[in-house]
Amino acid sequence: MTAFASAVSIDGLMTELLALAKITEAEPPVVTRVVFGEADLRARAFVKGLCADAGLEVTEDAVGNTFARWPGSDPTLAPIATGSHIDAIPNAGLYDGCVGVLGGLEAMRTLKRLGLVPRRSIELVVFTAEEPTRFGIGCLGSRMMANVLTPEQARALRDKEGSGLEEWRARAGFKGDLASVAVAAGRFHRFVELHIEQGPYLESEGYDAGLVTHIAAPASQRIVIEGEGGHAGGKLMPGRKDALTAAAELILALEAAAKSSGAIDTVGTVGICNVFPGAVNSVPSRVELTTDVRDIDGARRDRVLDALAAAASAVSARRGVAIATELINADPPATCDTEILAALEESAIAAGKKYKRMVARAYHDSSFVSCIAPTAMLFIPCRGGVSHRPDEYASPEWIGGGVQILARTLAKLAQ
């Protein structure tokens, strides 16, 4: 335990995290780095410089996914990989994603300091656009690597101004056929991602680490309800076709379906409700809802969607409104690899860290890497469960403990 603990340069890592946080489109301590923007490109250059200084071989693919390899003694074997992302939503903090990238790099440097000669290569991956800020879709780089998002679908992506992925990646200097981004199963032997929890449970329950067994995934829908508008005084109640009251029924139907799934892991949310015309004295004629249903069990999640569809049909018939539903995405939940979890558990015990097994409920690149390689995640606490805000915080002790566990795990898997 002592050798690993002393080999981790937590002071150096914290200095690097703080330096990366200063590369932002906003005034520090606010971190904003939208993919392919000026700050994102400077941040990429900063991380690539650190990787080169560590003696790693750095390459990039056509969409900007970055790979920094420490060659193993047997180059014929698929590498062990770790990593995360460095893009950040507007008004974010400095730990989300970045702990997994710079902490992954520090884990590799730690093993080098200890004199390890890995049999399998160890590779750090910096994924492009885990956040959905530019194009409205999360995990762009890992989706494309897993071919969950095809080149044709990627080319169709647009930002709010109408500029496409091809235009943005050309500005950023990334070239090559988008089809080349997809990798075959077996490209990585195992993949493990270090990440802050983005929830309060590890801190509140006194754990140093969380070993993620499942990663929940959302199905998102856009629901448009067309009713009949009119003056709030002139439109009498018996003849109304109020789009908003119909929407209210659907919102409650989603809540009821999620609560009655039989599992605490099922959640349903309506995060957007746009009402037209939006006047206090006008009956709403059109409402657009955006829903998010998540679970670690895909079939159970889809039963909630079926219940919502049945409710929409009943509400439409009873209230005389038209309801149209568009599926935005329905991504597969991930089950984490038992071999990696066993290595993480052994490593946590060896590092003297208290851990628990848990579920990841937020999106991560690991969700899509799991389509092409056995995958698991390692969580560390974050203060108050706060994330995606400037006051997001993980202590040096928590980060250092996570790096120790990750380094030990990479060593086990690489040998």
302: confidence class by pLDDT, cuts 50, 70, 90:
very high
- 357 has pLDDT over 90: yes
Q: What are the pLDDT digits (tens) for 151-179?
A: 999 999 999 999 999 999 999 999 999 99
Instruction: State the first-to-last Cα distance of the chain, in angstroms, to the nearest integer.
Output: 19
Name the fold adopted by 2-216+333-414. Answer: Aminopeptidase (3.40.630)
Torsion of CA 21, 25, 26, 32, to 10 degrees: -60
pLDDT given for residue 3 in this prediction: 85
- Cα–Cα distance measured from residue 52 to residue 70, given in angstroms and rounded to the nearest whole number: 11
Give percent of the chain above pLDDT 90. 98
CB distance 372 to 190 below 8 Å: no
- 363 has pLDDT over 90: no
**Residue spans per domain, the chain:** 2-216+333-414, 218-330
Give percent of the chain above pLDDT 70. 100
For 206, half-sphere exposure in the C-beta direction (CA atoms, 13 angstrom radius) is 0
For 291, half-sphere exposure in the C-beta direction (CA atoms, 13 angstrom radius) is 30
Rg (CA), the chain: 23
| Segment 180-197 mean pLDDT | 97
- 1 has pLDDT over 80: no
pLDDT given for residue 40 in this prediction: 98
- Cα–Cα distance measured from residue 414 to residue 71, given in angstroms and rounded to the nearest whole number: 11
Give the containing element (helix H, strand E) for 154: helix 151-155
pTM over 0.85: yes
CB distance 21 to 31 below 8 Å: yes
- DSSP code at position 114: T
Name the fold adopted by 218-330. Answer: Alpha-Beta Plaits (3.30.70)
